[in-house]
Amino acid sequence: MRHPHLAAIDAAAWPGLADVPAGRLVDLRARVAEASFARACAAAGLELDPAGDPDLVVEHDALFPRLAVSGWLGLAESFMAGEWRSDRLADVLEALIGTGYRPRGGIPGRLPSPGRYGGGELPAELVRLSSGDGFSAFGGVFASGVPTTVRTAVPSHVPGHSRGRGLATHFVDLTTFSDPEDVDREDLGDAQARTVEMLLDAARVTAGTHLLEYPSTGGAVAIGAAHRRATVDTLTADPRQARWVTEQLMLAGVDASVHTEVIDHPVPGPRDWRGSHDAIVSVEKLEVLDERDRAGYIRALDRLLTMGGFVSMQTVIATDALSPVARGALDALRAYVWPGLAYPTATDVHRLVDRESGLRVTAQTHVGGHHQRSLAMQRSLFEGQTREAAAAGFDIAYRRLWSYQFALREALFRLRMLDTVQFTLTHRNRNGRR
């Protein structure tokens, strides 16, 4: 029999939420999970007593069977099902991850919950409800951040390049922005516009530049480049995204300068798109691709960039602090939003570029503190428009999921486990590609 508190959950859309795991073994493990959760909250300094000023409130004991079966994924699903709540969600997740809470999920035969929304780009209406500029999902860079740049030697990972000569290195301009100060939600749109300007500057986009944007970010990069009098091709594998972008380009009056193309595959192969572009901009795509597609993605950038051109690529990366606990906490995002999500380290990006292409990283700009504040503002904007989200067709489970994913990512940025980097790439050999 279905639990009464799950009556509002669409079982066809959310099979992982619609029923509470049950059975003798589950019941035994649920008691263990409950005790473990209580100890973790105490260690993290989290108040559970609803009579006081609780950090979180457990509304239904169904939380504990879910923890017993699915661990961190179960914690997220229980939140989506309304079985626990918190007005300090990012604080709670930060505290649990920071103190090393490791729920012991994983009963044999239990499959991960299938994601419903992982097949294409994020729905445009969802992005609009959590965006400062009306159509961008990426992190911004606020005006109060102060950049500091040093030139640093980094190892080269080109196969055979260092043979017989010791470890080969090359120089990278490493810029770090200080955390923003005195910013609020009204600053998010300007911050997202500054991200676009920084990426276009790094790719040397000026009048007459032939720019490729992949994937389409919803219009911001294409519009910004068109205002610089560049010619723009923007690619997406999602027809819904293409229609949305076309509409934004028309509203901005730049549709004559931008060509939007729907390609058949998430990563453009030679049959999907050909051409030679002076500049390429890519925003927060690499980290959501699975391992198989990442090499093809870098090869595509190499193939489509003209000699002497520049790629500007913003990517969320893992730092050395990213723990196994945090990786487990990300299971919910892989299950429901980005199936291929796996944050690379900066070294992983350098290695991938060196080994899979004739490109090389020449500069990297770290703006993680700004992305952290962006996520907090995006969640605040979204939670202030829950009625509009419901009217747009996003049900209660989806709305809770969207708050949870913002809070989880914010928590990982607060813990310095994630960072955001703008990488600049160009061909390492001027007289030909590999």
Which pLDDT band, with edges at 50, 70 and 90, does 161 fall under?
low
What pLDDT does 253 receive? 96
What pLDDT does 106 receive? 57
| Mean of per-residue pLDDT scores for the chain | 92
Which pLDDT band, with edges at 50, 70 and 90, does 2 fall under?
confident
Return the percentage of the chain with pLDDT > 90, whole number. 82
Task: Name the CATH architecture for the domain at 124-427.
Answer: 3-Layer(aba) Sandwich (3.40)
CA dist 331 and 194 (Å) reads 31
Phi/psi at 331 (nearest 5 deg)? Answer: -55, -40
In contact, 130 and 382? CB cutoff 8 Å: yes
In this structure, what token pair is assigned to residue 350? 């350098």
Q: Find the mean pLDDT for residues 139-156.
A: 95
CA dist 217 and 235 (Å) reads 9
CA dist 310 and 268 (Å) reads 18
User: Hey, is 22 helix, strand or coil?
Assistant: coil
Return the percentage of the chain with pLDDT > 70, whole number. 93
Q: For residue 400, what are the contacts with CB-CB under 8 A and spacing of at least 6?
A: 79, 80, 82
Q: Find the mean pLDDT for residues 123-148.
A: 94
Domain ranges of the chain: 4-98, 124-427
What pLDDT does 292 receive? 85
Q: For residue 422, what are the contacts with CB-CB under 8 A and spacing of at least 6?
A: 198, 199, 202, 312, 313, 314, 364, 365, 367
What pLDDT does 120 receive? 62
pLDDT in tens, 192-225: 999 999 999 999 999 999 999 998 989 999 999 9
Residue 190 predicted with pLDDT over 80: yes
What's the distance, Cα to Cα, between the start and end of the chain in Å?
62
Which pLDDT band, with edges at 50, 70 and 90, does 51 fall under?
confident
Buried residues in 297-336 as b, exposed as e (16+ CB within 10 A)? bbbbbbbbbeeebbbbbbbbbbbeebbebbebbbbbbbbb
Q: Find the mean pLDDT for residues 169-183.
A: 95
List the one residue out of 9, 16, 10 whose CA is nearest residue 70. 16
Q: For residue 238, what are the contacts with CB-CB under 8 A and spacing of at least 6?
A: 120, 121, 262
What pLDDT does 275 receive? 87
In contact, 307 and 427? CB cutoff 8 Å: yes
Residue 231 predicted with pLDDT over 70: yes
Q: Find the mean pLDDT for residues 48-74.
A: 94
Length of the chain: 434
CA dist 210 and 232 (Å) reads 6
